[in-house]
Amino acid sequence: MLEQGSGSIVNVTSVHAEVGAERIAAYAASKGAITALSRSLAVEWADRGVRVNCLAPGYVPTDLSSGLLDSPRGEGIRARIPMGRTGVPHEVAGAAVFLVSDAAGYTTGSTITTDGGWTAW
């Protein structure tokens, strides 16, 4: 991308890079590192035509989250989401498609959060 002078990188972080939760300190720290790396690269590579952004999904049923979401704690999580439900993969994918599209041509160093309002609290 740097050689051709254009491109778009979308790194996947998490709402837990911004909002703390118990028992996920290492996960949250690693996602926070992705966010920081993305912002630094966005600044470093902007004048070379490469955009770097993050996508921060909230709770979406995946192999990683299904045990939690199917547990008694899952109901409490859904109750805290203003939209009252978890996301679905195509909703997160839509945000990624936007970030790599020409419509986001002036977007770099940003994080798009797709969390049903979780971080709006």
d(CA 42, CA 47): 9
Contacts of residue 20, Cβ cutoff 8 Å, sequence gap at least 6 = 28
Catalytic residue of the set 9, 18, 19, 27: 27
d(CA 96, CA 91): 9
Number of H helices, E strands in the chain: 4, 3
**27 belongs to the catalytic site:** yes
Q: Active-site residue numbers?
A: 27
